[in-house]
Amino acid sequence: MKRPHDHTTRLLLFAVLLLCADSMASESASVLNLSNPTLSQLEQHAEAIDSELDQLAHYSLRSGVGAIGYRSDVYQEAEHTVWIEIQLEADTAIDQIVLVPSIWRDTKAGFKADGFPLEFRIIAGTTQDAEGTVLASFDKDSNILPRIAPLLIPCATTASWVRVEASVLSPRQFDGKYNLELSEIMIFNGATNVALHRPVTTSSIITKVRGARKKGYLVDGFTPFLMDAGRGEGTVAFLGVTSIDAQPSITIDLEDSYPLDRIQLHAIDFNDTVPQATPAGYGLPNRLRIEGALQADFFDARTLTEYHRKSIYDVGPILAQGFPATECRYVRITALEPYVFEEDNQEQDQARMGFAEIELFSGDNNVADGKTATTHLLDGTGRSLTALTDGNNLYGQILPIRQWVEELARRHDLENERPLVTTELNRRYAHQKTMLQIFIWLTVLLVVGIGFIILIERTRQIRKISRIKERFAADLHDELGANLHTIGLLSDLSKELIHSPDKLAKLLDRIRIFTQRSGTAARYCTNMLEAKGICEDLVEEMNRSSRRLLSDLDYDIEFSGEALFKDLKPRVRIDIFLFFKECLINILRHSGATQVSIRLVATTKDICLTITDNGHGIDSGQDQVPASSRRRARLLRARVTAEHPKQGGTRIRLTVQPKKFRIL
């Protein structure tokens, strides 16, 4: 027997499975396919990106006037082969090539690379290899644009020349014509830029070579960026004042001798105002001599390199100069022509000299870091000389050039990846929100469904109890009604024969017999549904009852579809039998009939029981179907009708559809 809460349990299980199906599928996909990160992995990745971005150098663009880089000839179509070749000093081991784009200020999209090639390749060769080897190639599907950051090209080779060969150009922003533009090309061997100030040849034949775009500017060490490391404490640059005709100097004691091969002078940072208050290269002498010595009095001084500013394009944030390795302990930087600011010269005879930082390299190491600096013929005007070797500029820590451009390139990659992660996170969050809404609605439906099921079960129980009561009453009426009626009649007769002991004793015996029959009938009604063998053969039971009840009448009984009777539920067979028996008792009690016809026909659709008698019929003023018969038909959920045949009498017809589907 199914318990009442079975339906509730099934609904609960279905709801739980439905709610878990999507999450189980997602987790399974994440476990089986590690390339599809989970939500927590995406959130951790977004946090890692943000954390790394906080530690990377920033895009801080230069302002004012300066060298832009190189621009090739201009073409009407994109498909043109244009190349740039840099000659190294000798066959040199190289491990990275950096292309720094020229930058254009777009009025709508902001800063973007201008003239950066869409398809190009990097070729390198040695003095013995004129053809060279392709180190890397890029096309439109490489997704390197849009960008303003340097493009890093890892390599591990030996070369005496490196060529950038473009085959598909991009339109420049100015007029939409096609050309190749780059701001700087760096070629690294470790931390050293071996392309610095090396000879450059190009495929373009440019007749007018002037202004901010020259091929030599590709290797001058100047980029469109200021060194803004995004970390460390910034310090104010040293700036000294001297007379115009003086040759002031700054000396650094390295405390030990080193083979120096490179110097980097960081210009004074005044780009923190908009517009900037002073021109680029403020405080940088027009001519410089850098000398090295092993003795403090520079008796053994050797000139390491010189610098001569020939135009406003020869200055930049970082002035880098390489020279043959020279053993030095002391380095002196002398201003052969100090910087004169026009605004100062209008009022007094003054010149200036200053730097944000002085870096002296022995190989990849800045050996001047933290060393002591002194000046000659230079008034510091309150600025500290320690700023020259403290490793900081106005924006914070000064990074090695290679590390700096690598961080800018890494920032570009992360800033392009972060929106993709954010989009995927937002999609996942939206999916979660949708699933939460579905969960809420399913929860509401589940609660309503449980309430509905409880209501249905309660209604079913109430109806079941009502049917049990009704059935018990009907069974008692059908089985005990006649006996009790007889007992009542015999009791009335016994009162009249109270003075006739012999006759009274017979009546009392008969009352005793009917009383025993009534008890037996009551037990029969109580156990009817549970008892085995009751109405298992409906035809036999109806034949037996007909012979017993209609023995004094002329009757005939006919059955059709007997094989289907055994497929009926026991309750249905019992109810049909009791209805049949009730009709026979009513005929005997009320109709005065002498003939009875019984037909029971079973089909796959329904069961029809027809009982016809030739009695005096039912009064038209009353309900044609007796109440007891209607009650039994209701228990069967059957349809019962009563009619008067033309030849007289009454015909009762019961139609049962035992397989009809019902909710309650």
What is the CATH classification number for the domain harbouring 343? 2.60.120.260
**Residue 441 CB-density burial (10 A; 0-12 exposed, 13-18 middle, 19+ buried):** exposed
Question: What letter represents residue 329's amino acid?
Answer: R
Where helices occur in 565-658 by DSSP H, the ranges are 570-586, 627-636
Question: Is residue 338 domain-resident?
Answer: yes
Work out the pLDDT band at 489, boundaries 50, 70, 90. Answer: low
- Position with higher pLDDT, 332 vs 499: 332
Report the pLDDT value the prediction gives residue 405, as an integer from 0 to 100: 97
- Euclidean distance between CA atoms 292 and 306, whole angstroms: 12
Residue for token pair 């950096």: 98
- Specify if 651 maps to a domain: yes
- Let me know whether 291 and 195 are in one domain: no
Name the band, by pLDDT with cuts 50, 70 and 90, for residue 30: very low
427 occurs within a structural domain? no
Question: What's the residue count for the chain?
Answer: 664
| Contact assessment for residue 133 and residue 125, using Cβ atoms and an 8 Å cutoff | yes
CA neighbor of 227 nearest in space, from 387, 99, 391: 391
pLDDT digits (tens, 9 = 90+) for 94-128: 999 999 999 998 888 889 999 999 999 999 999 99
Whether residue 212 is found in the same domain as residue 275 = no
Q: Report helix, strand or coil for 494.
A: helix
- Averaged pLDDT score across all residues of the chain: 85
Is residue 363 situated within a structural domain? Answer: yes
Same-domain pairing of 655 and 548: yes
Dist CA 267 CA 281 (whole Å): 6
3-state class (DSSP) for residue 197 = coil
Q: Which of 386, 405, 426 is the last residue of a domain?
A: 386
Q: Is residue 350 part of a domain?
A: yes
| pLDDT single digits (tens) 441-461 | 999 999 999 999 999 988 988
Please give the torsion angle defined by the CA atoms of residues 87, 88, 89 and 94, in that order, rounded to the nearest 10 degrees: -170
- 20: pLDDT confidence band, cut at 50, 70 and 90? very low
3-class SS letters over 4-39: CCHHHHHHHHHHHHHHHHHHHHHHHHHHHCCCCCCH
Residue 404: what pLDDT? Answer: 97
Do 165 and 284 share a structural domain?
A: no
Q: Which of 148, 152, 223, 173 is nearest to 416 (CA)?
A: 148
Answer whether 615's CB lies under 8 Å from 454's CB.
Answer: no
Per the domain annotation, does 537 fall within a domain? yes
Same domain, residue pair 164 and 289: no
Is the confidence at residue 538, as pLDDT, over 50?
yes
Q: Which one has a higher pLDDT value, 17 or 570?
A: 570
Whether residue 433 lies inside any domain: the answer is: no
| 360, 258: one domain | yes
Final residue of a structural domain among 360, 386, 412: 386
Task: Give per-residue pLDDT as tens, 548-561.
Answer: 778 778 999 999 98
- Weakest-pLDDT range from 312-321, 352-361, 486-495: 486-495
DSSP line for 71-92: E---BSSSEEEEEEEEEEEEEE
Query: Where among 334, 363, 386 does a domain terminate?
Result: 386
Q: Assess whether 617 and 548 both reside in one domain.
A: yes
Instruction: Please tell me whether residue 270 adopts helix, strand or coil conformation.
Output: coil
For residue 400, what pLDDT is reported? 96
Query: Which string of DSSP letters, residue by residue, matches 360-427?
Result: EEETTEETTTT-EEEEES-B-TT--GGGGSSSEETTEEPPPHHHHHHHHHHHHHHHHHHHHHHHHHHH
How far is 92 from 600, CA to CA, in rounded Å?
113
Q: What share of the chain is helix, strand, coil (3-state, %, to 5)?
A: 35, 30, 35
**CATH number reported for the structural domain that contains residue 621 in this entry:** 3.30.565.10
Model confidence at 522, pLDDT cuts 50, 70, 90, reads: low
| 166 and 280 part of one domain | no
CA angle 373, 374, 380 (to 5 degrees): 105
- pLDDT confidence tier of residue 512, bands split at 50, 70 and 90: confident
Higher pLDDT, 660 or 424: 424
Interstrand relation of 595-602 and 554-560 (parallel, antiparallel or unpaired)? parallel
Q: Which residue has the higher pLDDT, 615 or 306?
A: 306
- pLDDT score recorded for residue 271: 61
Give the tens place of pLDDT for each residue, 241-257: 988 889 999 999 999 99
How far, CA to CA in Å, does 272 sit from each of 50, 62, 268, 393, 401? 25, 10, 11, 12, 21
655 contacts 639 by C-beta, under 8 angstroms: yes
What does the pLDDT average to over 3-27?
47
406 domain residue, yes or no:
no
3-state secondary structure of 347: coil
- Rounded to whole angstroms, the Cα distance separating 71 from 164 reads 13
More confident residue, 401 or 273: 401
605 is in which domain, residue-wise? 533-664
Block residue for tokens 């009542």 = 488
Lowest mean pLDDT among 161-170, 218-227, 621-630: 621-630
Is the model's pLDDT at 564 over the cut of 90?
A: no
